[in-house]
Amino acid sequence: MFDILTIAAIADELSATLIDGRVQRIGAVDPRTIAAEIYAGGRRRALVASAGDQDARLLLPDLLPSLDPALITPFILLLRKYVRGGVVIGIEQPPLERIVRISIAKRLLPDHERRRRGLPAESSDLAAAEPPDESDIDIESGDDDDVETDADITYVHLVVEIMGRRSNLILVDDDGAIMDSVKRVTAAMSRARPVWPRLPYAPPPARAGFDPRRVSAAEMTALLANEPQPDRPLWRALVDGLRGVSPQMGREIAFRATGDANVAVAALSSDAAATLARDTHHLVEPLLTAAWEPRVYREREPDDGMGPVIAFSAVPMRHLAAEFQEEAVASISQAAALATGEDASAGPERHVQRRQRLIAKIAAARQRQERRLHALTEQRDRAAEAERWRRWGEAIYAWLWQIEPGQTSLEVDGESIPLDAAAGPKETAQRYFDQYRRAQGAAERTPELEAEVERELAWLDQMRTLAEQAATFPELEALAVEWDAHAGSDADRPRRAQPPKRPRPLLDADGNAVFVGRTGAQNDLVTFDVLGPDDTWLHARGVAGSHVGIRWRRSGAEEARTIEAAARLAAWYSAARGSGAVEVDVAPRRHVRKIKGGRPGLVTYRNERTIAVQPAAETDLADVLRAG
């Protein structure tokens, strides 16, 4: 959705709002995303730029995302030195490219002058989480009479390339040399375009094709005539033949010209080229006029409610309006924020970088355990060959008298036994016996080790699900502490584990209490401390998730409606949240046992019954359960 139209609209918006603005804060949201606070036009504005493989973006959200002061990289240090405290002096988009170049001017004071003003030296400033107050340094006016010379001003350029998995954020000096980037690309990775400090910055190679702003009917005719696969959709031919045209733009041109976004090239009439050229001009006209009309497109809801945003664009897209609910928005940044989940009114998740760092650690640990399980599986397969090695050793000793010096194999009962001519038959037999004994020992230990790895994988899956669904900072922090305690911490001072906090119950009309665990330790607390033997325990079947428990006010007074509501909560707080129907196991708590040697929250159970329910959050169950 970040095509040339979107990028051009964003560049125009940045030019209208950020020019002459001062960068007051800048830092990392995650390893590939930066955010800056810029004071411009009498107000503070937020800027977000990301080179994520799946979510590359550039926009002005309503609120500055939470910065991660612990995420310090050479790129962030350079931004703090050369960008923070600087003034935005230019915004530029190369024609028909998904690139925005943000130019910043900053006066870098000598260390002795910084000391005179009471400011820290640049070297110490690099590691500071917050900028010093440098508002008295004026780039333009020259009213700081001690050091105001042109030589003191440094110009840098932040190049934001939004190109899918090839997206990047690159800091370039005024001589065109790369200072650093979010993604470093070595010559081995890309001989055509390495991105490395001190190399000259080269823009991505321009795509071949006709200019959509000026494409003629004759050129469009040639484009269609040269299509090697006439049965292909027209929009694919337009993407391949017109510079900078995205799949969304290609479908729109096809829809405007024929009424069918997926029409095949072979189905076009003989005079279609002129119509296609005209509709292409109309679609890209805002590149010349800057007459943007941003839109978002939502799923149509049967009750006329607000469905999720499916797509957005800088201009109206008729093919999307025919299928989805079209909504005009005030700016292209608002449209992008609604689509990417960064809109303040849409309830964006906070503390994103903390969540992502924890999930990344969990994912890395899971990969290690998967490799370990694969190695154990191979070891078990080798152990299955143990009897063959024993049989070979015994056969060599039985036929030792017949083996000639230098012989390389022994044929016995239709089986060929390899011999080591250099070592001799006795040594070869002894080697086979050694392999047999090692394999036998491994075979005895392998099942136990495999079970241990399976338990670890189950705990990691539980941790990831709980981290992805954690709604508050305390929940995330409790999960991080649990991770430090049970998986090891790379911090100098691991956080001290605290007893898990008892979750707040949800009460039904009869006062029966429903509890949901949000960490592994809290799962244990709910299951084994809060619930009694006759209470009810629930968990989504076969997937990671929270333990849910119902503590009944009176023994035997179970309510089917309450059990169903608790089951829907168990489905919601599980890895199967996005499914239409989820199977949930319901068991008396007395039949739930903690796995010996297992991580927090890992249990085994029996005598369960299984019900299928739709996942539901607490707000959807207000008619059954209320906060206690």
Per-residue pLDDT band for 126 (boundaries 50, 70, 90) equals very low
Angle at the Cα of 371 (from 369 to 376), degrees rounded to 5?
A: 90
pTM confidence score: 0.57
Residue 526, judged by CB atoms within 10 A of its CB (0-12, 13-18, 19+), counts as buried
**What confidence score (pLDDT) does residue 117 get?**
66
Sequence ranges of the domains in the chain: 4-181, 217-343, 352-478, 506-627
Q: How many residues does the chain have?
A: 628
Per-residue pLDDT band for 210 (boundaries 50, 70, 90) equals very high
Average pLDDT of the chain to the nearest whole number? 85
Q: What is the mean pLDDT of residues 134-159?
A: 57
Q: What is the pLDDT of residues 157-208, one digit of tens each?
A: 999 999 988 999 999 999 999 999 999 999 999 888 999 999 999 999 888 8
Per-residue pLDDT band for 221 (boundaries 50, 70, 90) equals very high
User: Is residue 39 helix, strand or coil?
Assistant: strand
Q: How far is CA 217 from CA 263, 273, 276, 376, 616, in A?
A: 19, 5, 8, 65, 55
Which one has a higher pLDDT value, 110 or 363?
A: 363
CA atoms within 13 Å, Cβ hemisphere of 176: 4
State the Cα–Cα distance between residues 188 and 414, nearest whole angstrom. Answer: 52
Lowest mean pLDDT among 129-133, 211-215, 387-391: 129-133
Lowest mean pLDDT among 255-259, 328-332, 436-440, 495-499: 495-499
Residues above pLDDT 70, as percent of the chain:
86
**What confidence score (pLDDT) does residue 258 get?**
95
Per-residue pLDDT band for 442 (boundaries 50, 70, 90) equals low
Strand partners, 603: 594
Per-residue pLDDT band for 598 (boundaries 50, 70, 90) equals confident
- The pLDDT of residue 96 is above 60: yes
Residue 320 burial (CB count, 10 A): 22
Question: H or E stretch including 103?
Answer: strand 99-107
The pair of structure tokens assigned to 514 is: 């429903």
**What confidence score (pLDDT) does residue 148 get?**
45
Lowest mean pLDDT among 74-78, 420-424, 572-576: 420-424
Q: Where are the beta strands (DSSP E) in 378-504?
A: 409-412, 415-418
User: Is residue 343 helix, strand or coil?
Assistant: coil
**What confidence score (pLDDT) does residue 130 get?**
39
CATH number of 217-343: 1.10.8
When mean pLDDT is compared over 27-31, 46-50, 432-436, 451-455, the highest value belongs to: 46-50
Per-residue pLDDT band for 10 (boundaries 50, 70, 90) equals very high
CA dihedral 540, 542, 545, 546 (to 10 degrees): 50
- Closest by alpha carbon to 75, among 204, 181, 202? 181
Q: Where are the beta strands (DSSP E) in 108-211?
A: 153-161, 168-173, 178-181
**What confidence score (pLDDT) does residue 145 get?**
42
**What confidence score (pLDDT) does residue 173 get?**
96
Residue 375 burial (CB count, 10 A): 12
Task: Say what angle helices 4-18 and 272-284 make with each other, to 10 degrees.
Answer: 20
Angle at the Cα of 77 (from 71 to 81), degrees rounded to 5?
A: 145
State the Cα–Cα distance between residues 596 and 444, nearest whole angstrom. Answer: 20
Per-residue pLDDT band for 443 (boundaries 50, 70, 90) equals low
Q: What is the pLDDT of residues 456-498, one digit of tens each?
A: 899 999 999 998 888 776 787 788 888 888 765 444 444 455 6
Tell the CATH superfamily of the 4-181 domain. ibrinogen binding protein from staphylococcus aureus domain (2.30.310.10)
State the Cα–Cα distance between residues 283 and 212, nearest whole angstrom. Answer: 9
**What confidence score (pLDDT) does residue 486 get?**
76
Strand arrangement of the beta sheet that strand 295-300 belongs to: 306-313, 295-300, 325-328
